[in-house]
């Protein structure tokens, strides 16, 4: 008989037994729940050979200051083995505000790169062959405008847009519940999202039109179970919207992708990713009638947990990130970003960014994790946890369904309250010592802080000067004409992507395009239309 000893729970409150035996999985239907890698319900991975056939994409997130500075960082990372780009935009760009807007003073280029117009996108991607590089853009409210600018740059390189591969996040629902970079009311924002999906399904067959993000939900304080439930519920809302707009589910569902956080509890994180795949496959088959096996595949990017990084003893973040990256690989991710150890102190230094990339490379090439599909499959512990996570997610999905879906649940504030309670409970556990955080409430010792990356304050003024030069040198009449077309399409219900392309090509700015949309759609401020 095994003694109980101390009691442990996962981040989601799932109790962990002192030992797991065959009796813990006897009730699970292996043929139905587990299956084989590459076969529905994809519990064990979406490809038969997983990383034996193709390694995950090492996609380090980068963006700061000016487009020219960020372009240098992109080329540095590509030269050191990164296999895909991931663009971080600054807050003004994400909020649809130009760098010369008085509201953004001090924020230009601070937490990402400033992109005001096509001219900036040209500088950002200069010398990077877009037909050969997969690019991810973490952008939501202004996703359609950024995608249009990317397409124009690619065409100027001679690339065919139907060969471009990459992802725009374009996940506006999670902005209302976790991140806050919304501009327009939810239903108008959903209209823009649906326009992008419809346009891309016809013109950009290799592009992932939405990266449905649990990452920011988890970073806001959700548990692992809540992260999966709210992410899949958002995904269901997007599928309903696209089907409601007249699209066949199998025409767009294969290009949906997901984005998950990977936190410290290695086994719960592996179980979470396996459960998410299984749930999505059944949701798409049973609720939306998808017939294409690719429509059932939950393909996802992972990022290690930024909220787990500590400014105290920042070097300890290196093993944290390593364990989180290992969990992502064991869970079957398609691409991965590893955070730099100094990110709780500043934007990553070049050396820290290289070490983060090397962490992935060591796991991929030295650990043996990539040698077989689903290495932990069949573990009594992992299979039991996977089942428990799935059960918890289904319970939350049923509650959301009883409210009429994710959009009504968000509008009622229910989802936000669930995350707030979990975040508060987690903080209480840290403060009480129930959860250990090395360097914060355990093993607290002094340690030198690494040198912080500094953004040159002059970059903001230089960006404003470039923007002023652009506005004075472009064809103003052409800009006004294209902005009028944006207004007409917004008012008349036509797809917005073609007019975004026209406006971007005329060098209309992000702020100007969004200004027109604000006038037509209104702005969203904590539930009020203004």
Mean pLDDT of 125-139: 91
Backbone angles phi, psi at 390, to 5 degrees: -60, -45
What is the CA 286 to chain-centroid distance, rounded?
A: 26
The band of 316, judged by pLDDT with boundaries at 50, 70 and 90, is: very high
- Which strand (E) or helix (H) includes residue 87? strand 84-88
Mean pLDDT of 267-293: 97
Closest to 328 in 3D by CA, of 285, 359, 366: 359
Q: What are the extents of the domains in the chain? A: 8-35+130-368+376-432
Listed in sequence order, the residues at least 6 apart from 280 whose beta carbon sits closer than 8 Å to its beta carbon are: 232, 235, 258, 296, 297, 298
Q: What percent of the chain has pLDDT over 70?
A: 95
pLDDT tens digits for range 67-86: 988 898 888 888 888 777 88
Per-chain mean pLDDT for the chain: 91
Closest to 114 in 3D by CA, of 131, 128, 101, 127: 101
The band of 1, judged by pLDDT with boundaries at 50, 70 and 90, is: very low
Closest to 474 in 3D by CA, of 520, 502, 506, 440: 506
Backbone angles phi, psi at 284, to 5 degrees: -65, -40
The band of 453, judged by pLDDT with boundaries at 50, 70 and 90, is: low
pLDDT of residue 2: 43
Helix (H, G, I), strand (E, B) or coil at 373: coil
Backbone angles phi, psi at 216, to 5 degrees: -70, -30
Tokens, residue 183: 């501009």
pLDDT of residue 5: 60
CB atoms within 10 A of CB 431: 11
Global pTM reads 0.88
Tokens, residue 206: 């290799």
Helix (H, G, I), strand (E, B) or coil at 15: strand
Mean pLDDT of 443-448: 77
pLDDT of residue 209: 86
pLDDT of residue 30: 59
Closest to 406 in 3D by CA, of 162, 178, 119, 108: 178
pLDDT at 222 over 90: yes
pLDDT of residue 231: 97
Tokens, residue 427: 């903080």
Listed in sequence order, the residues at least 6 apart from 395 whose beta carbon sits closer than 8 Å to its beta carbon are: none
pLDDT tens digits for range 88-126: 899 999 999 999 999 999 899 888 899 999 999 999 999
Distance CA 14, CA 225 (A): 10
Work out whether strand 166-168 and strand 134-138 pair parallel, antiparallel, or are unpaired: parallel
* Biggest alpha carbon–alpha carbon distance for the chain: 83
Mean pLDDT of 421-437: 91
Strand intervals (E) in 482-530: 524-525, 528-529
Listed in sequence order, the residues at least 6 apart from 132 whose beta carbon sits closer than 8 Å to its beta carbon are: none
Distance CA 17, CA 391 (A): 17
User: Higher confidence at residue 60 or residue 467?
Assistant: 467
Work out whether strand 528-529 and strand 524-525 pair parallel, antiparallel, or are unpaired: antiparallel
pLDDT of residue 248: 94
The band of 183, judged by pLDDT with boundaries at 50, 70 and 90, is: very high
pLDDT at 529 over 50: no
- Asked whether 224 and 389 are in contact (CB, 8 A), the reply is yes
Q: Which CATH class is domain 8-35+130-368+376-432?
A: alpha beta
User: Higher confidence at residue 206 or residue 29?
Assistant: 206
Least confident of 31-40, 145-154, 160-169: 31-40
Say which residue the tokens 């891309």 belong to.
200
Mean pLDDT of 269-281: 97
pLDDT tens digits for range 332-366: 999 999 999 998 887 778 888 889 999 999 999 99
User: Higher confidence at residue 62 or residue 303?
Assistant: 303
- Asked whether 309 and 344 are in contact (CB, 8 A), the reply is yes
The band of 447, judged by pLDDT with boundaries at 50, 70 and 90, is: low
Mean pLDDT of 459-476: 94
């Amino acid at each position: 008989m095994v003694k109980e000893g101390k009691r442990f729970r996962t981040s989601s409150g799932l109790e962990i037994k002192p030992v797991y035996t065959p009796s813990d999985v006897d009730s699970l239907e292996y043929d139905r729940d587990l299956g084989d890698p590459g076969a529905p319900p994809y519990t064990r991975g979406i490809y038969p050979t997983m990383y034996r056939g193709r390694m995950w994409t090492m996609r380090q997130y980068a963006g700061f200051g000016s487009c020219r500075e960020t372009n240098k960082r992109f080329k540095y990372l590509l030269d050191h083995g990164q296999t895909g780009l991931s663009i971080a935009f600054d807050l003004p760009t994400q909020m649809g505000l130009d760098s010369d807007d008085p509201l953004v003073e001090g924020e230009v280029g601070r937490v990402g790169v400033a992109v005001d117009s096509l001219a900036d996108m040209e500088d950002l991607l200069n010398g990077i062959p877009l037909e050969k590089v997969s690019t991810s853009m973490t952008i939501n409210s202004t996703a359609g405008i950024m995608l249009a600018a990317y397409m124009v740059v690619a065409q100027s390189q001679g690339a065919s847009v139907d060969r471009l591969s990459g992802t725009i996040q374009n996940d506006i629902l999670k902005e209302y519940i976790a991140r806050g970079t919304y501009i327009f009311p939810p239903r108008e924002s959903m209209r823009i999202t649906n326009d992008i999906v419809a346009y891309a399904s016809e013109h950009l067959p290799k592009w992932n039109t939405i990266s449905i993000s649990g990452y920011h939900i988890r970073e806001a304080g959700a548990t692992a179970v809540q992260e999966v439930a709210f992410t899949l519920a958002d995904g269901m809302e997007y599928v309903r919207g696209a089907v409601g707009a007249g699209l066949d589910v199998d025409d767009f569902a294969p290009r949906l992708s997901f984005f998950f956080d990977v936190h410290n509890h290695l086994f719960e994180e592996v179980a979470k990713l396996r459960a998410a795949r299984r749930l999505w496959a059944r949701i798409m088959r049973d609720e939306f009638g998808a017939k294409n096996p690719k429509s059932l595949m939950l393909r996802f990017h992972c990022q290690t947990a930024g909220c787990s990084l500590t400014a105290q003893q920042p070097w300890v973040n290196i093993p944290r990130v390593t364990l989180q990256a290992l969990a992502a690989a064991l869970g079957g991710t398609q691409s991965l970003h590893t955070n730099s150890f100094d990110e709780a102190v500043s934007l990553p230094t070049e050396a820290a960014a290289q070490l983060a990339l090397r962490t992935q490379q060591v796991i991929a090439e030295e650990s043996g994790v990539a040698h077989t599909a689903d290495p932990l499959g069949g573990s009594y512990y992992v299979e039991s946890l996977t089942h428990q996570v799935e059960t918890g997610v289904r319970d939350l999905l049923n509650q959301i369904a009883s409210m009429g879906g994710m959009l009504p649940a968000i509008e009622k504030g229910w989802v936000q309250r669930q995350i707030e309670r979990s975040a508060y409970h987690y903080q209480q556990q840290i403060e009480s010592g129930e959860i250990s955080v090395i360097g914060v409430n355990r093993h607290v010792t002094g340690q030198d802080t690494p040198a912080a990356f500094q953004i040159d304050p002059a970059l903001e003024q230089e960006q404003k000067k470039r923007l002023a030069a652009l506005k004075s040198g472009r064809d103003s009449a052409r800009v006004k004409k294209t902005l009028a077309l944006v207004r007409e399409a917004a008012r008349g219900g036509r797809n917005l992507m073609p007019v975004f392309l026209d406006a971007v090509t005329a060098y209309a700015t992000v702020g100007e395009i969004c200004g027109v949309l604000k006038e037509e759609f209104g702005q969203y401020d904590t539930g009020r239309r203004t």
